[in-house]
């Protein structure tokens, strides 16, 4: 069904009893497409072409769901004397193209902003990772230094213990030497006493 309308932006409903062209298509689609020839053509003007889907006895399609998409298609087109789009249509096309270009630029800017934000986030995460790694390394260095200090203290304590042991051993050696000297002195005294006793006995025997 083709209806003539006043303009592409017409808001007034059309008269459903008046058609510029109407043809029923009752054959099978070829390659999924149904076609019809407008043999008499159409005069210059603005038109709306719509499809009507019905059963064989012209019952409309019944859709059991209240919320659904379009059942029929509708397109708008313009016929001119030379077959070229009217100037206002060209201006509209240019405006649409400009709007599309602006939309593309905005989309590109948004994508660039998103990429920059992602890069900034990645850099921030890298910086945070580096800072955490530095902190971990510093903590490890502190722990190593503490361990080294503990080892040094342990070494000092062991050295002091060795010195104390050496001093103790030296004292023991001195005490042993003193004891040996005392024993030697006692033995000498005993020998002297024995000699004196022997001499006394000899004198008694001589008398």
What is the per-residue pLDDT across 92-130, written as a single tens digit (0 to 9) for each? 667 777 888 888 888 888 888 888 888 888 888 888 888
Residue with tokens 């920059």: 116
Cα–Cα distance, 41 to 47 (Å, whole number): 12
Cα–Cα distance, 70 to 73 (Å, whole number): 7
For residue 29, the Cα-to-chain-centroid distance in whole angstroms is 52
Indicate the average pLDDT of the chain.
82
pLDDT of residue 117: 83
pLDDT of residue 200: 63
Q: Which of 72, 32, 29 is nearest to 50 (CA)?
A: 72
What's the whole-number mean pLDDT along residues 156-173?
A: 76
What's the whole-number mean pLDDT along residues 49-77?
A: 88
What number of CA atoms fall less than 13 Å from residue 104's CA on the CB side? 6
* pTM metric for this prediction: 0.42
Residue 8 CB contacts under 8 Å (≥ 6 apart), including other chains: 46, 76, 78, 89
What's the whole-number mean pLDDT along residues 3-17?
A: 93
pLDDT of residue 205: 66
pLDDT of residue 87: 78
Higher local confidence (pLDDT), 152 or 41: 41
Cα–Cα distance, 191 to 198 (Å, whole number): 10
What's the whole-number mean pLDDT along residues 29-48?
A: 92
């Amino acid at each position: 069904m083709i209806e003539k309308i006043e303009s592409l932006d017409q808001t007034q409903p059309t008269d459903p009893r008046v058609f510029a062209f109407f043809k029923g298509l009752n054959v099978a689609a070829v390659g999924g497409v149904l076609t019809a020839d407008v043999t008499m053509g159409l005069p210059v003007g603005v038109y709306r072409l719509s499809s009507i889907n019905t059963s064989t006895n012209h019952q409309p399609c019944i859709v059991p769901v209240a919320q659904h998409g379009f059942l029929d298609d509708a397109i708008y087109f313009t016929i001119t004397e030379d077959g070229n789009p009217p100037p206002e249509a060209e201006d509209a096309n240019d405006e649409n193209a400009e709007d599309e270009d602006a939309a593309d630029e905005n989309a590109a800017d948004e994508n660039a902003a998103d990429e920059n934000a992602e890069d900034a986030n990645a850099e921030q995460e890298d910086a945070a990772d580096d800072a955490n790694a530095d902190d971990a390394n510093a903590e490890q260095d502190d722990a190593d230094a503490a361990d080294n200090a503990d080892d040094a203290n342990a070494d000092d304590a062991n050295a002091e213990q060795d010195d104390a042991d050496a001093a103790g051993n030296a004292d023991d050696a001195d005490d042993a030497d003193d004891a040996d000297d005392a024993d030697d002195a006692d033995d000498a005294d005993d020998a002297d006493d024995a000699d004196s006793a022997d001499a006394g006995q000899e004198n008694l025997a001589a008398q």
